[in-house]
Amino acid sequence: MPSRVRSRLILALVLGAAVTGQSVALAATPSPKGPLAAVATAATTAAASTSTQPAIPIRAAFFYPWFPEAWTQLASYPYTRYHPSLGLYNSTSAVVIASQIAAMQYGHIEAGIASWWGQASPTDTRIPALLAGAAGTSFRWSLYYEREATGDPTVAQLQSDLAYITTHYTADPAYLRIGGKPVLFVYGDGTDGCAMATRWAQADLAHAFYVVLKVFPGYGTCLDQPANWHQYAPAGAEDSQPGHAFTISPGFYKASEATPRLARSPAAWTHDIADMVASNAPLQLITTFDEWGEGTSVESAAEWASPSGYGTYLDALHANPGVTAGSVIRLAGASRFATAAAISAATFAPGVDVAYIAYAFNYPDALAGAAAAGTIRGPVLLAASGLPLDIATSTELVRLKPKRIVVLGGSGVISEAVKVALKAYTAGSVIRLAGASRFATAA
């Protein structure tokens, strides 16, 4: 079934529309047992700083707080081919939420991306409990804005939703932030293109959010660029969007389909995790933690139970934590220009106050400017003496939308023509900081 049709079905289901005409059977939520119970209790009392945010790269999983409603679909109950270890649970249960957060943390998943279908929707009413469940832990939550799946919300609608999310959720210490900005993932359908990116840019003119849009053909050519991009296509084992996100899926076996689109294989999953970690992508994503209807869950089930209590797929994630404290990673590009752009992309969201431009073929101006850039929190990008700007630099400037640009060094190292051309990348000023020598420029 095409993603757009799937999303329409789930939207109708979650919002309580008459998809099947059947009543929803509510299963009692069982108490977690064994390691799940022990770690769930520990998760609620862990001594973690409430102000801590994960560092890039971030491992996150798509999460669906729409049970028990979604256990019934297409006149089928339960709508899944598997048997969750927690039973046919209720997403409102604090015990279930604590167990799920503990399970994700066991798999070194640092954040959950919770499906969100709009103000006052059932999924909306469950976000406070998710945030409360993460209190006192290092786990963080973001939202997956799903309304793009069923149409094209107007700029005014987007602004209303952003204001609502800001008022209700983003001040919570458990809400995920990158570069100080609350993170919002956005789903899309097969008809979306650059017009979607433009609507979101217009809705968030102040760049208050770290918006992560779903990719579409040609997304890199759009004039309006969000903070980042991702793919959601769990029928494929791996998806790489270089410089943005790497996504993996354990399988796809929809309850209403006779054969799997992606067969499960623990060995293949272990390989996929290794590829994800090796990618060094800023966003390392898992589709999904608990989408039982499509059979993409890594959450524990009888079919892949393990002695740990977390299941084979979370065991594999646990065994390969990726980048952790004390790890050494590499940020690099095909050239010095691309390396500088990669560092910027991994560190800064659009709307930075300032971007510094330094001469690419000698280091003193870049070295001196780095201290100022670190203080003001702006990137240092590179340019040659003359035009054209390197494509890596110009592409990153389009994404960054800096409020102003500062050229480091005199016209002998970066020409006036380059300074003039840089005006196309900011609505603010382009100035030059220079002295009679490299010593004077630093001073």
Whose tokens are 């709009």? That residue is 118
Q: How many CB atoms lie within 10 A of CB 195?
A: 12
- Rounded Cα gap, residues 27 and 48, in angstroms: 33
261-305, pLDDT tens digit by residue?
A: 999 999 999 999 999 999 989 999 999 999 999 999 999 999 999
Beta strands in 231-366 (DSSP E): 238-241, 245-248, 283-286, 355-359
203-234, pLDDT tens digit by residue?
A: 999 999 999 999 999 999 999 999 999 999 99
- Three-class SS state of 177: strand
Position 43 pLDDT exceeds 70 = no
Q: Which three-class secondary structure state does DSSP give residue 234?
A: coil
- What is the reported pLDDT for 26? 34
Lowest mean pLDDT among 248-252, 326-330, 334-338: 326-330
Phi and psi at 183, nearest 5°, equal -95, 135
pLDDT of residue 347 exceeding 50, the answer is yes
Distance CA 196, CA 437 (A): 47
- Model pLDDT, residue 177: 96
Q: Tokens at residue 90, please?
A: 């209720």
Tokens of 155: 């700029």
**What tens digit of pLDDT does each residue of 399-434 get?**
888 999 999 999 999 999 999 999 999 999 999 998
Please report which confidence band the pLDDT of residue 443 belongs to, taking 50, 70 and 90 as the band edges. Answer: low
Q: Which tops the pLDDT comparison, 16 or 127?
A: 127
pLDDT at 9: 47
Average pLDDT over the chain reads: 87
- Virtual torsion, Cα 292, 298, 304, 308, nearest 10 deg: -130
Confidence band, pLDDT 50/70/90 cuts, at residue 42: very low
Q: Which residue has the higher pLDDT, 48 or 379?
A: 379
* Cβ 313 vs Cβ 287: under 8 Å: no
Is there a contact between 324 and 314 (Cβ–Cβ < 8 Å)?
A: no
